Chains A and B, each alone.
Chain A
Amino acid sequence: MKLGDVMGYARANLKRHKLRTFLTMGGVAVGIGALVTLLSLAIGLQDVATQNLKSEELVTRINVLSRSQRAKFMGRRSSGVAPEDTGPPLNDEAIASFNQIDGVLVAYPAAMANLTAEVAERVTNLQLEGIPTKALTESYQDALVSGSYWDAEVTGNVCVLPSGLVEDIGLDPEWVVGKEVLVSELRAFFKYKSEETEELGPDGKPERRLVRPTDLETETLHVLGVYDSDRFNRGGAVAHAPHETVTKLSKRFPFGFGGGPKEDDAEEGTYPVVVVKVGDVTKIEAINGEIKKLGFATITINDILQVIGIFFVVVKLILGFFGSIGLVVAIFGIANTMVMAVIERTREIGVLKALGARNRDVRRLFLAEACTIGFGGGLMGVGGGWLIGAVLNAAAAFFFKEQLGGESYAFFQLSSWLILGAIGIATFVAAVAGIYPAARAARLDPVESLRVE
């Protein structure tokens, strides 16, 4: 019997028992729907967790640590670095050697300043990241909301603010360009006082004003532009400034509330972290390899993505396990339906055999029925899982917008692998459920079967 005829016969039989078929498919659909919903949640969460890590800015960046620094950072045991194995010092000489590697845009010591900033009578915490002019790739320019970045000519005490911060303090990104930011040490935040003014606010109470302490040491930065902070680090508040400026500011206004020099056992003239900026993403692994060969430890975004990937494999396995419980129940449903069908159609099986059907033809007919149920249930389940995810995504979007005033994430995401896999699994599981009933049908004795009323 040809496969097409087998499938047609199976479909016709299922159509005759629409309700029963639908209910059995429903059992499969519930199982597959649960599985799809849970796995699409895992996919969505992984995407949410990693989407900011895939920006061009991050994937073209290698963070180089001295081996001793890495050991401190990761813990000696897990880093696999022996205490005496310190590796070469991460100093200017090392940076020069990185700059010589083909494909490296620029290598520079990571520079961060954590400051208090006053802009347009508002005081806020401000993190400044130092970026060499050479490292300002197109992705920086693309992310600009207003103004511009510095260049070889326009440099010095300038900065580009993140849109998240600008909006948080209630300023307009266009307006703020060209304004001045007064930066001071981090703990200066608590030295600002707020006092009442003569003027009355809209609520009838006197307006309040921030008063800068008179003896505060400050430095002035010019705002050159505002960049879309979602592009680099969603919701982040890291402002960009020229590397030399940030280096200078971090020395003048050291981190921490203690005020004293930062505790650091690093040798004189070495850096904890050096950033190697690569021009072409495809070269990153090769360059990473060369830096490692020089004896340094590195961290790229791929290392982090890998760890996250492993974590999510575990998450998917766990969710998949719980999602599969419904499928196990569905197996029993299919097996039950198929056993019933075999019993009901015993005489028909006898006729088929009298007409020359081989045992394997009969087995195929019933397996085809089971698989069709599984396939149909799989389709319904994927549709249902998609629908649940879409509804929950919409609900999340509504909640984020109404309650938090921000953008939402797609927490539930289907991949084509998940869709095909789920339908495939449903069909396969149904075939497994159909094995026993189909074998039973195939084994029936034709004479006995024809005797059945």
Chain B
Amino acid sequence: MALLELVDVRRSYRFGDAEVRALDGVSFEIESGSFVGVIGRSGSGKSTLLNILGGLDRPTSGHVKVEGAVLSTSSSDKLAAYRREVVGFVFQSFNLIPHLTSLENVALPLALQGVSKAERSERATKLLEKVGLAKRMGHKPTELSGGERQRVAIARALVNEPHLLLCDEPTGNLDSKTADEIMGMLTALNREGRTVILVTHDREQANRYSKRLLILADGKLEEDLRLDGPDAPAVAPPPSPTVNPGPAPAGEEPGA
């Protein structure tokens, strides 16, 4: 069973009479353990898609299923639990809490899980060492460089042992060398078995690291390319957005 399944997901914003369709009928599946790149122009709906996959946002219509269970209509507490247990977010702007130290930032998701203080700091310390920041544990985000901040953010995203890593332009604010380091880290994490979804502006980066590439345009899935190995030819997406939905549960809306 696919880890994630989107069925005709739409997300629109209303301004009086006008309607902005950030996502306009997107359907696809993501297998567990894959490394998926998402590219598209600014405003094409990449972040909106990622937020919906991560349970931060709900689609206006359509379904998101996680291992077959419908996520998009879950209660907000269930969504929070999903974010706490399954998802790790990495943002372009790091989103570290400015008044907490690196260690406290990394330990924060564990505090939300109710993990004891001793275990929290042990696990957070290990991860900071893993991302090479053993000497920056007591520093606040303002005392760190951009690359260091993003490494703290990655450590924070990993501390709850998430199965799904959602990265929204994680290297957007970093120079190319630091970006390569961060991408190397994400690749290693993918090899450990974690599913990585990477939103990026950088087509070349997406080509280099992902095994599959989703191209969004105007809220629609324009292309779905498989990049399995350097020699494999790019696989064209099926002509219809209605990907084989598998055995559809009762009561499911038909795809648009």
Whether A351 pairs with B114 at a CB distance below 8 angstroms is no
Shortest B74–chain A CB gap in Å is 12
Chain B contacts of A49 at CB under 8 A? none
Whether B114 pairs with A2 at a CB distance below 8 angstroms is yes
Whether B76 pairs with A355 at a CB distance below 8 angstroms is no
Known: A351-B96, A356-B109, A356-B113. 9 other contacts (CB 8 A): A16-B99, A347-B95, A353-B56, A355-B83, A355-B89, A358-B81, A361-B112, A446-B57, A450-B91
CB < 8 Å: which of A2, A5, A12, A358 contacts B76?
A358
Within 8 A of B (CB), among A394-450: 446-447, 450
Q: How far, in angstroms, from A351 to B152 measured CA to CA in the complex?
A: 14
Whether A450 pairs with B77 at a CB distance below 8 angstroms is no
Chain A contacts of B84 at CB under 8 A? 355-356
Binding site for B on A (CB under 8 A): 1-2, 5, 9, 12-13, 16, 347-348, 350-361, 446-447, 450
CB < 8 Å: which of B54, B76, B77, B97 contacts A348?
B97
Chain B contacts of A2 at CB under 8 A? 111, 114
Q: How far, in angstroms, from A353 to B89 measured CA to CA in the complex?
A: 11
CB < 8 Å: which of A348, A354, A447 contacts B83?
A354
The yes or no answer to B85 lying at the interface (CB within 8 A) is yes
Chain A contacts of B99 at CB under 8 A? 12-13, 16
Whether B81 pairs with A359 at a CB distance below 8 angstroms is no
Binding site for A on B (CB under 8 A): 51, 54, 56-57, 76-77, 80-81, 83-85, 87, 89, 91, 95-97, 99, 108-109, 111-114, 117, 156, 160
CB < 8 Å: which of A5, A351, A358, A447 contacts B57?
A447
Sample of 8 A–B contacts (CB below 8 Å): A1-B114, A5-B117, A347-B95, A353-B80, A353-B83, A358-B76, A360-B77, A447-B51
Shortest B166–chain A CB gap in Å is 10
Interchain Cβ contacts within 8 Å, total number = 66
Chain B contacts of A12 at CB under 8 A? 99
Contact A351 B76, CB 8 Å, known A356-B84, A357-B112? no
CB < 8 Å: which of B54, B77, B85, B97 contacts A351?
B97
Shortest B107–chain A CB gap in Å is 10
Whether A354 pairs with B89 at a CB distance below 8 angstroms is yes
Chain B contacts of A360 at CB under 8 A? 77
Shortest B153–chain A CB gap in Å is 10
Chain A contacts of B80 at CB under 8 A? 353, 356-359, 361
Chain A contacts of B81 at CB under 8 A? 356, 358
Chain A contacts of B112 at CB under 8 A? 1, 352, 355-357, 361
Q: How far, in angstroms, from A351 to B83 measured CA to CA in the complex?
A: 11
Whether B109 pairs with A447 at a CB distance below 8 angstroms is no
Whether A351 pairs with B111 at a CB distance below 8 angstroms is no
Shortest B155–chain A CB gap in Å is 13
Whether A354 pairs with B95 at a CB distance below 8 angstroms is yes
Shortest B12–chain A CB gap in Å is 14
Q: How far, in angstroms, from A350 to B113 measured CA to CA in the complex?
A: 17
Q: How far, in angstroms, from A446 to B55 measured CA to CA in the complex?
A: 10
Contact A356 B160, CB 8 Å, known A1-B111, A447-B56? yes
